[in-house]
Chain A
Amino acid sequence: MSDRLRAVLPSVFSVFLALAVCWCLIALTHDATKATEAYLHLLRGGLGDWAKYLEEGTSTLLTRPLGEAAIKASLLLLTGLSVTVAFKVGLFNIGAQGQMLVGALTAAVVGAQLKLPALLHVPAALLGACVAGALWALIAAGLKLTRGVHEVISTIMLNWVAVSLVDNWLVVGPLRAGAGTVLSTTGTAQIAASAHLPRLLGDSSRLHLGFPLALAVALAIWVWLARLRTGFETRAVGLGAEAARAAGIPVGRRMLGAMGLAGALAGLAGALLVLGTELRYPGSLGAPYGFDGIAISLIGGNHPLGVALSALFFGVLRAGGTNMQLLNLSKSYPELIQGFALLFVAGRLVWLAFMRRRQTAAPTAPVAPKQPEPSPEVPRA
């Protein structure tokens, strides 16, 4: 248990450090009281206005903000998991954005075009989105395996292709709501009521089924990676592809599987956005969800449960971020906190060493060298 605690600590500390640094930033650009006020707004916007609730007893003062936080968190969680699963097999998925986009579009099309009872319509739309996202991601995985194209480059390219084809063609052209008429709207048609993700708290909050679904998915992925043989094989491929190959693990199949799953998760995020809150594909995704996924995944230590925690935390901040405009502050403020948190995670060796030095107050011990190893590079005749 203490080992696990130690693994979590750098991320937690990074987040707090980021909160502190960003507080200073507002204090410098505006003033200290405003900075503190901003943080209170963030909390009220994400966790509910408890003080007012205790005074007035209106439950929507809590359910609204909490619902918004949960909605934001479920999107962050799924894109974060998408990046995590790809990381586990040793691939860097910068393409969650594009995969989410094609997923969202597919969900919108299935939601609007098919006529099905609700019990089938929602699963069909979710599944469609997963498949679309998976296929989009598999292009990158396939290019990597057969042609050796680095996935970082191919997923970036695929993001652009997705944006170009969907946002600049499909939703302004053939799939535009009222296509063929003179109506000048962007975005696809509204989805059928049967395809709406059911709201969990009725009218008091927008919270919908997507949130528990995302949590369940996180749990399932954790079980898969930690307890099942194929999860073990996937991790082995990610940490040592050649050793995995020598051990008889089908490296290519595991890579395709993990990357497909990564794409499906991002696609699912797109479906949640469309079926849960937007109720149509609005013309563009509107935010760099793919980047968020990378940050959430890395801050969560690439562990499904850690990713869930970091998604919940930043979901709260994001939901609170909309409140920042009341103070004339940018609503991108939570993203700044997220960026700094990732920077501190990246540089954790720096402040860990700094803390250790103060703790021991001893002369710096020289870094212990690794055991002498035969170097992996063998001179070639």
Chain B
Amino acid sequence: MLELLEALLSSTLEYCPALVFAALGGMLCERSGVVNVGLEGMMRTGAFCAAVAALSMPTPVAILVGMLAGAALASVHGYLCIRWRSDQVVSGMALNLVALAGGTYLLESLYGPNGTPPIQQLTRWHLPGLSEVPLLRAFSGHSALTWLALVLPFAFHWVLYRTPLGLRLRAVGEKPHAVATLGLSVAGLRWLAVLGSGLFAGLGGATLSTAVLDRFEQHTPAGLGFMALAAMVFGRWTPLGTFLAALFFSAANALRIGLASSAPGLLEVVPQGFLLALPYVLTLLLLALQGQRTHAPAALGTPYEQESR
């Protein structure tokens, strides 16, 4: 039993960083009032660019490249949505499609359909003291990104609720006109949030190709960006809620893999499809139980116009 739990924990910690980063990025963006359904595309761009970069440079630097690539895609989103007040959902969806097809196109014309050549994975930290202790052993053997994913939500929480910048971000997502009349720049704050979301979504993607896998694959991130979106909504647009939701999704996934490998007999009784569907069905149920009250920022999705009331 303890071993199963340990495997579960370890697998969750392995799987969660990408989701946590992307979901936090999405939350950052939406708290400033800009919808970001383009997370999937930003992750894919980050994953691709990090994998390609890692072929010729050290992996940590490649991750940075992936983050910047995500931010580059996000800057298109920002340009269309902030500068030109375009429809935020359409823009995000368009970026998804461009990243989806563009990734496939570049991959196939540069490396063939089977993915990029393998790269040097990010170093895993084996913590000598920890690897002896039962259960806590699960925390050993992960990359630095796992640890970052465990710390980052609290950092986000601190920034959002304890710093002037956080106050301004929350205000701009609720009532941008109030922020503008105090002489702060609505566009500036939103740009910050959108670029930040690109950085973190890109980091999420880079995590997939440098820590979880060792290459960029045809289907990366395979819908994880949309799961991040769901985690954000599920977490009610708060850093810690988003974190918990992302952990929940990761744990559900880990549970499926864990059950399939540790108790093969189980699959005879419960088809794997049921286990696969479980987290999604649970999410739907929990969202339905969460009830009517919306927790979305009030100005979410509304472009800001200065010379209007």
Contacts and interface: CB of A to CB of B under 8 A. Distances in A.
Q: Indicate if A touches B (C-beta under 8 A).
A: yes
Given A156-B230, A369-B308, A370-B308, A169 B273 contact: yes
Contacts of B147: none
Interface stretch (A103-111, A119-127, A263-271, A333-341): A333-341
Nearest to A149: B287
Interface string B274-309: 101100110110011111111000000000010111
A152 interface: yes
Nearest to B109: A29
Given A149-B288, A153-B229, A330 B104 contact: yes
Interface in A134-159: 143, 147-150, 152-154, 156-158
Contacts of B227: 156
Contacts of A295: 93-94, 97
A147 B86 contact: no
A170 interface: yes
A92 B73 CA distance: 23
Contacts of A288: 100
Q: By CB atoms of chain B within 10 A, which of A152, A156, A347, A350 has the most?
A: A347
Q: Is the interface of A mostly helix, strand, loop or mixed?
A: helix
Contact of B86 (A158, A328, A332, A346): A346
A168 B273 contact: yes
Nearest to B276: A164
A352 B76 CA distance: 17
A350 B281 CA distance: 41
B185 interface: no
Interface string B79-99: 110001111011101111111
B206 to A, nearest CB: 22
B292 A347 contact: no
Nearest to B84: A349
B294 A157 contact: no
A197 interface: no
A373 interface: yes
Interface string B106-139: 1111100100000000000000000000000000
A369 B229 CA distance: 34
Q: Which of A143, A291, A339, A346 has the most CB of B within 10 A?
A: A346
Contact of B97 (A338, A347, A373): A338
Given A156-B230, A165-B274, A347-B80, A148 B37 contact: no
A291 to B, nearest CB: 6
A330 B109 contact: yes
Interface string A330-372: 1011011011101101111110010000000000001101101
B93 to A, nearest CB: 6
A335 B97 contact: yes
Interface string A88-105: 000010100000000000
Interface in B205-260: 223, 226-227, 229-230, 233-234
Contacts of B94: 295, 298, 339, 342-343, 345-347
Contacts of A170: 273
A164 B270 CA distance: 13
Given A156-B229, A169-B272, A330-B105, A291 B100 contact: yes
Contacts, number: 170
A336 B226 CA distance: 20
A164 B106 CA distance: 29
A349 B85 contact: yes
A369 B307 contact: yes
Given A156-B226, A338-B97, A346-B90, A367 B37 contact: no
B271 interface: yes
A165 B278 CA distance: 10
B212 to A, nearest CB: 19
Contacts of B110: 29
A160 B76 CA distance: 29
B229 A347 contact: no
Contacts of B223: 156, 160
A161 B281 contact: yes
B102 interface: yes
B5 interface: no
A291 B291 contact: no
Residue among B91, B95, B287, B291 facing the most chain A CB atoms (10 A cut-off): B287
B102 A336 contact: yes
A349 B85 CA distance: 8
A169 B267 CA distance: 11
Contacts of B292: 147-148
A79 B34 CA distance: 27
Contacts of B106: 29
Interface in A153-192: 153-154, 156-158, 160-161, 163-170, 172-173
A217 interface: no
Contacts of A166: 273
Contacts of B289: 147
A127 to B, nearest CB: 26
B271 A168 contact: yes
A147 B97 contact: no
20 contacts: A143-B288, A156-B223, A156-B227, A157-B281, A163-B276, A165-B274, A169-B274, A291-B96, A291-B100, A295-B97, A298-B94, A330-B104, A330-B107, A332-B101, A339-B98, A346-B90, A346-B93, A347-B79, A349-B85, A369-B308
Interface of A: 25, 29-30, 92, 94, 143, 147-150, 152-154, 156-158, 160-161, 163-170, 172-173, 288, 291, 294-295, 298, 328-330, 332-333, 335-336, 338-340, 342-343, 345-350, 353, 366-367, 369-370, 372-373, 375
7 closest A-B pairs by beta carbon, nearest first, are A169-B273, A339-B97, A164-B276, A168-B273, A330-B108, A164-B277, A335-B101
Given A148-B291, A160-B277, A367-B307, 18 more contacts: A147-B291, A152-B229, A157-B281, A157-B283, A165-B277, A166-B273, A168-B272, A169-B273, A172-B273, A298-B93, A333-B101, A336-B102, A346-B94, A347-B80, A347-B86, A350-B79, A367-B305, A372-B309
